[in-house]
Every structure is written in C-alpha cells, then in structure tokens.
Structure 1
Amino acid sequence: MTDNQRAITDDQRQRAKLIWAYHQMHHDVQPTDAAIGLGSHDLGVPAYCAQLYRAGLFPTLVFTGGPNPTAPERFPRGEAVHFREHALNLGVPNEAILLEPKARNTGQNITFSRDALAAAGIKPGTVLLVSMPYMERRSFATARKMWPEVDVICASEPLEFDDYLKSIGDEKLVTDQLVGDLQRVIEYPALGFAIEQEVPEDVHAAYTSLIHDGFTSRLIAG
C-alpha cells in the first residue's frame, strides 16, 4: 500500500468482515432471462459477467452506469462503456450486450436497464444482478422495490474479504464503502428507494463502531 492507502487494525478488520458477509446474499447462481452488470469502480464486475455468459447462464447482458461520481477518472467515458469493452475483450459477443450509459445511482441502474431491455423487446421474468461483493444486498433491495415483477438473483466475483482488500489495495477505502452501503441498506427504505432488510444486532454494532472510528467518507448526509 502507498502512504495514501491506509491500513486498518485487526479489530476493525473483523468488524468490517462481519459487514462484508452481511452484504452478500449467498444466492445460488442459476440461468436467468437476462443479466445486469451494475456500474462501479471495479472491473471484477464485467469480468465475472463474461465468465457467467460463457457458462451459458443468460443470453443478454446489460451494462449500466455513467461516469463514476466518486472516481470519474477511473472510467472517463462512463462505467457501462468501459465495462462493455472489457467484456468484449473477454469473449462476450457484441450482439449479446445492451448499453445503458446514463444511470447515476442504483435505482437508475435498475430502472434504466429495465427500459433498455424493453426497448430491445425483452421482458424478463428472471434477472441476474452482478455487482461488487459489498453491493449485493443493496442491489437486491433496490431491485425488489423498483422492479418487483421480476425474480432477482444476485451475484458477485467470488472473493474472500482479505483477497478483496488486497485486490483494491486500500483497506480504509473498502471499509468506508462497506459502511456507506450499509447506511443505504438501513436508510433507503424510508425514502422509498428499496425494500426493508433486517440488520442483525452484531452487524449494526459493527457498523456504528466503525462510524465512531471515522470510516465515514462514503456516508450520505443525514
């Protein structure tokens, strides 16, 4: 890690790992009518989408996302555009990919992808959402609110927490993101953005203690 990539303590790591496990839905990945690769800063999403496509799990793949609001330099032409190019390089045929380059949040990822599929004459009954590992639960809760008529399966690149930390290289940033996503899981239902998700007491305690420790850069203003 560089000087700007701060490490976390062993105790903070254990609390972050608890939240990491909660964020993952542990769904059985099965064939679906379509898949949606949710925009993010992580090329693990299109790479895993390509792997699942090659395994024959879906015929159509939507990549969704405009410029990343927290790291616009990461994918300057927008998340969906870069994800599509990465998937093409990994063997996904162009005709299997739909592009949705305007979404700026998860709710728009879902609704705009639904619209892109409809415009292509596709009305799926089942959808596979592929996201970063710590976004599975929020993606699920959002999709169930915004698109309740479809059955949703969530998936992400199968990485252990420590391996994901190493792949990103910034333990503080990853922990900030875990905390920020859990805040959204907790607060978005009251705003009409997602369905309610039960948060176990130990997960909530880990969340509040990490906020107290200063892992707050990805929190939304109250």
Structure 2
Amino acid sequence: MNPRPADLEIASTLWDYLRLEQPVKPADWILVFGGHDLGVARRAAELYHDGVAKRVLVSGGALNVPDGSNATTEAEAIAEVLIDSGIPEHGLAIERLASNTSENFWLSAELLRDLGEDPQAFLVVQKPYAERRTLATARRRWPNKDVRLTSEHVSFADYLAGPIPTQRILSMLAGEVIRLENYAHSGLIEIDEPVPIEHVQAARHLRDAGFDRRAETATPVAVLSLNSRSSM
C-alpha cells in the first residue's frame, strides 16, 4: 500500500510528537533496546565513543531480529554492530529474552543484579518513535532511577528513505500512539500528560487507512509483564 500525501503529513506530525529529543547527559550505563531497526546500535556506538558511559547493556529477544542479520536475537544483532564499531566485548552485557519494553526494563534489572551492579543513571537508546512510550514505561518500572531517552538523529524524511518499508513505519507510528493511550489508561505506563486527542484521532486514521500492523490494543502478555514482575 502506498501512502497518500495526507497520510505522510499525519505520520510526520506523530513522529514529532513521539520523539522527545532529551539532552544527553553522562550515565552509568547505556541501555540499548532491541527491535527491527539497527539505528539503535549506530547511536549507541556513537554515544559510547563520545564517553557518555563506559558500559553498554543490550536487551532484546528473538521476536524482531533485524532483516539481513544472521543473529538469533535482537540483542545479538545489535551487539555485533557495537563490537564491529570498536566497543570491547568486556564493555557489553547482553540480555536475550525480552519481548517487549516492560520486559526490557525488568530483565535488564535482573541481569544487572546478577552482575552485582546497582547503577542509578541510565541513557536508553530506542527507535525514534518509541521514545515517549519508553520513558513512560521507565517511570512505572524504574521510578527511583534516573532514566533519559535518546535515539538516532534522523529526520522523518530520511527515515522514510531508509531500508524500512514506508508501510511498516506508518503502522509503527499509528501503533505507538494507540498503545500510548491504551497502556496509560490500563496503568501499564505513567505518562506526564494525556495523549492529545488530535494525535489519537490521527493514529486511528492511519490504522483505518490500512496502516494497522502495530495498531492493536494492549495485550494480556504486556499486562502480565507489569503485574507479575518486580521493579528495579
């Protein structure tokens, strides 16, 4: 399906809303959350080499291994890029089971405890459009930690011109906004203000136009992830 100009205009508005563009500050650990987009690996490598943190934890299971990678998990695919960039293996910790953002936080906390680490400040590297929901998840999962978000520096136009299909990108944007509203209402996440109704309507427009691959409601798995597991 080829999006209409009006669809792209709506998607651009959602892109701007979902990104936070927080200033980067030094952290104890860089956390890289997995998925289909290896832009998180490039951004994490840049931050590491800039001296933002000395340790990197990569979290992600087998659900959305990036296209073209021979790795069996998202985390391993990202770790390969980080190592190729010059990050030493002893500077990496790898969590290979998480299947959603709540599990990224929970299982990362478990791994850090196993390593005898109790860091207080984190810089999480996410996909650009997942920043807002990830920070809202952090408020719920790690309320006593200093968590900031960052992502690859890329414009919406350049992201569309990249390797990820446009239909998938628009579906992800619609799904992010719909999830943000649904998860906030269910208590899965803690947002600082309600999702503006115009953005919810825009996301539903994209979903109803056929960009619905990710535009579903909260799942029982996500609810279970929150209710059955401890915070850090």
What TM-score does the superposition give when structure 1 sets the normalisation length?
Answer: 0.91
For 1:167, what is the secondary structure of its paired residue? coil
1:7 maps onto 2:2 in alignment: yes
User: Cα 1:51–1:68, aligned 2, differ >3 Å: closer, same or farther?
Assistant: same
Structure 2 Cα separation of the partners of residues 199 and 178 of structure 1: 14
Moved more, 60-69 or 194-203: 194-203
Q: Does 1:108 align with 2:103?
A: yes
Closer, same or farther: CA 174–99 of 1 in aligned 2, 3 Å: same
CA contact (8 A) 2:131 2:151 kept: yes
Distance 1:55 1:71 in 2: 25
Q: Deviations over 1:156-188 (max 9, x none)?
A: 000000100111342111000111111111111
| 1:28-80 deviations in Å (ceiling 9; x for gaps) | 01111111100110111111101100000011111001112587885651001
Q: Which runs of 5+ in 1 are unaligned?
A: 1-5
Q: For residue 29 of structure 2, what is the aligned residue in structure 1?
A: 34
Superposed counterparts of 1:1-222, under 5 Å = 6-69=1-64, 76-196=71-191, 197-221=193-217
Q: CA deviation at 1:126?
A: 1.2
Stretch of structure 1 that moved more, 121-130 or 16-25 = 121-130
Offset at residue 198 of structure 1 (A): 2.4
Deviation beyond 6 Å, 4+ runs, structure 1: 70-73
Structure 2 spans left out of the alignment, 5+ residues = 219-232
Q: How many angstroms apart in 2 are the aligned matches of 1:128 and 1:97?
A: 15
The answer as to whether partners of 1:65 and 1:103 remain within 8 angstroms in 2 is yes
What amino acid maps onto 2:186 in structure 1? L
AA in 2 matched with 1:121: G
* Identity %, equivalent residues: 30
In structure 2, how many angstroms separate the alpha carbons of the residues matched to 1:40 and 1:70? 6
SS at match of 1:190: helix
**Any idea what the Cα deviations from partners look like across 1:203-222, whole Å, max 9, x if unmatched?**
22311222221221112257
Tell me, in whole angstroms, the C-alpha distance in 2 between the residues paired with 1:219 and 1:206: 12
Residues 38, 66 of structure 2: 8 Å contact kept: no
More divergent stretch after superposition (174-183 vs 119-128):
119-128
Q: Given residue 206 of structure 1, which amino acid in structure 2 is its aligned partner?
A: A
Q: Tell whether the 8 Å contact from 1:50 to 1:92 is kept in structure 2 after alignment.
A: yes
The CA distance in 2 between the partners of 1:74 and 1:203, in whole Å, is 34
Compute the displacement of 1:123 (Å): 1.3
1:154 to partner: Cα distance: 0.4
1:97-122 CA-partner distances (Å, limit 9, x unpaired)? 10100111110001111221222222
What is the one-letter code of the residue matched to 1:11? A
